[in-house]
Structure 1
């Protein structure tokens, strides 16, 4: 059988061709049907066949006749038939279905696998949003490279719940075609009246735009008014505090023997302070992370956010905590939300109660409020306090960054909380002013 396959097949909808999954592989690799359509949209689907790259004719998209593969003619014939049937099926689709990845993949599933999958176009925004979240939940259980944190998935759920609240309370008939600037302003006002903070509102707008981008790419949405420059995620600078060395000492020494949960949260927080790491890296520290180099004990970290590997000297106070409270072992893990809740109580008991003035939006208006400092302490305060106090102690910035993982000095100086007065005192201690 002599089959000729053209380089690619072009239609008014898109371009289809076969290619190898790994063209430079030293062994057999999958033959993929690659279909490009619309603007930067494409799907890739395995044909179920594999071939050694040296036997593949990329120009004609077929297995070479010189190969020793016995069923090459059958494979080549199948490839021709798959492509022809796929293009025929596409020509019979409705316009909106021709750019719907789920519909296109279901066609290939039926043609190549012989499996019929019922795929219908999502008719409403909320139907799509629910399927989007379900997909994200499944991703969070998948491979590490595609894994989403439960916090991220929960954030999407919260956004959709707020949109449902808005839709039900205002009778808005929310759907893809009603999401425009009028909707944007009304939704923001709705959240402001519910006393949501500006950054929380911004988070919901950002999540909504992510869902809409996905729906547009998948062919479910054609309304692009959400891309208007005024349809933006609001934000404001958050109140980020740091604890002074004196306040850290108060937390270290406060008696928490009657509240074991608070005590564990306090000790985990101190691990964060004395290592300068994010809570995702210091909660928990495992025994095998503690190493010894030339007589010095260090803790080895591989930061989850950056992937950087770094080593932090084991602070004498951490050694003491491990020895006196945990039989020489690092601390057990505690839920991050519990740490944030309990560490505030620890700060209150340690009398870290200076008043902090903050600006916040309430019913769409900016109002001033005064809060005790302990109410603003959270797990991340540990890292910020380390960086700030290390800087004030005259530790070289490059060494602090080697511990904290900051990439640039500009990023570092923006992160630390040093008042102009504190900086002036530090400058005054330089050789120039002596």
Structure 2
């Protein structure tokens, strides 16, 4: 006997996302209506397949599942509320996937405070970004960086421009390979680089994945193997020990902004941290263990707590120019601008060739090295120089926060020749 619920316009069933899983899997509300029309919507609940009653579409009476009654009650309420909501629609609305998905979204997600019904891709994308932005402001929530949120906004803005200029009528149902190639060509025609295009594809897929999980999107053509992020290797420089020495010794006392940026950058280099951690260090982060002064960091990106010895040059910078304190925080765009000027003054002029694809065309340009210095160069330079100095990789990673050696080796900038020299100094080749 079927236990599914049959409203006048369709059939509701509950099923598991993966009935063969050894782990908990999502409970999916499956609504079939009309001719070959179907909506799948994640209820937000998970269960082990062995604890799921397929016939009755409920969690079995298992004593170890404390919230079983609540989950089963919610599933019943979802069905009841949805049937009631569908009965109030007109015949055209009952066949409209977007209207039906929005009803489920409001019922299952308990979105009573939002009276507007989310039906389109752009409505969902704007709502997604707004929620992530509010989440980032909540000190108790997992933080998304302002840079990540800005990146999402840029992607949605590019999509809106594309939609307007190409007159594509973009929505969930027509995001497919034709859209993918048309969107990429549009970006190329507007002189975007390969990596910028790849960033927008990556952000779009993130939003589509979440919309699919929320049951708003049922079109999975974006999961095609060719619907992928495009990229090309970029030139990421590191400063050699000689470059760092020149930067440290350069007199910038007449240009205080450059001097401040240089000092912050050098602290980033001698601590191996990300700019979000090394820019704005406070006195409270200075700790003493066994007579050794260290900086204590709780890395913003990973939440890892790391301790880094305070280098003598960092101590000298703080004592000579900042009354023993770390320098004040400086906006990251200003660091990126001023550190280039400091690098120019320090005569970091090695010529570097940059090759990249812009607007679908490969370009090549040779520039002095100082023009490529940014705040992140400090961390990459630390990791690379520490490796070349034969500091054990595990010790470098304990400072930088890299989780795996594979990730670390991809990150550092060491030529095959430099690696060969380092290997030549190992005990194996010396004995």
Partner of 1:139: 135
1:343-396 deviation line (CA, Å, top 9, x unaligned) = 122112211121111220033122322122112111111111111111222222
Partner of 1:284: 280
Residues 1:368 and 2:368 are matched in the alignment: no
- CA distance in 1 between counterparts of 2:418 and 2:70 reads 69
Residues 1:352 and 2:348 are matched in the alignment: yes
Partner of 1:236: 232
Residues 1:226 and 2:222 are matched in the alignment: yes
Partner of 1:48: none
Secondary structure at the aligned position of 1:13 is classed as strand
Q: Pairwise CA RMSD of aligned residues?
A: 3.2
Could you list the runs of 5+ residues in structure 2 that have no partner in the other structure? 16-25, 31-39, 46-62
Contact 1:125 1:176 in 2 (8 A): yes
Larger radius of gyration: 1
Partner of 1:203: 199
Secondary structure at the aligned position of 1:330 is classed as coil
Partner of 1:86: 81
Superposed structure 1 runs of 4+ greater than 4 Å apart: 8-11, 56-62, 79-85
Q: Indicate the larger mover: 143-152 or 267-276.
A: 143-152
- CA distance in 1 between counterparts of 2:161 and 2:133 reads 22
Q: Give 1:252 deviation, angstroms.
A: 0.9
Q: Indicate the larger mover: 353-362 or 410-419.
A: 410-419
1:191-245 deviation line (CA, Å, top 9, x unaligned) = 1232222111111011112222333344443333222111111112221111011
Residues 1:171 and 2:174 are matched in the alignment: no
1:134-189 deviation line (CA, Å, top 9, x unaligned) = 22222222243333222111111101111122223333333333322122112112
Residues 1:42 and 2:43 are matched in the alignment: yes
Contact 2:4 2:12 in 1 (8 A): no
Partner of 1:330: 326
Give the number of equivalent residue pairs.
378
Q: Indicate the larger mover: 217-226 or 348-357.
A: 217-226
Residues 1:403 and 2:403 are matched in the alignment: no
The one of 270, 276, 292 equivalent to 1:274 is 270
Q: Give 1:57 deviation, angstroms.
A: 9.2
CA gap of 1:60–1:229, structure 2 versus 1, over 3 A, is: closer
Contact 1:192 1:361 in 2 (8 A): no
Contact 1:102 1:119 in 2 (8 A): no
Partner of 2:58: none
Contact 1:103 1:119 in 2 (8 A): no
Residues 1:391 and 2:359 are matched in the alignment: no
Residues 1:252 and 2:248 are matched in the alignment: yes
Q: Give 1:318 deviation, angstroms.
A: 0.4
Q: Indicate the larger mover: 209-218 or 199-208.
A: 209-218
- CA distance in 2 between counterparts of 1:13 and 1:338 reads 57
CA gap of 1:275–1:179, structure 2 versus 1, over 3 A, is: same
Partner of 1:264: 260
- CA distance in 1 between counterparts of 2:286 and 2:257 reads 25
- CA distance in 2 between counterparts of 1:217 and 1:173 reads 23
- CA distance in 1 between counterparts of 2:116 and 2:190 reads 38
- CA distance in 1 between counterparts of 2:188 and 2:66 reads 62
The one of 102, 105, 116 equivalent to 1:102 is 105
Partner of 2:377: 381
- CA distance in 1 between counterparts of 2:113 and 2:318 reads 60
Q: Indicate the larger mover: 237-246 or 207-216.
A: 207-216
Normalising by structure 1, what TM-score? Answer: 0.78
- CA distance in 1 between counterparts of 2:219 and 2:14 reads 25
1:264-323 deviation line (CA, Å, top 9, x unaligned) = 111111111001111111112111111111111111122222222221111000000000
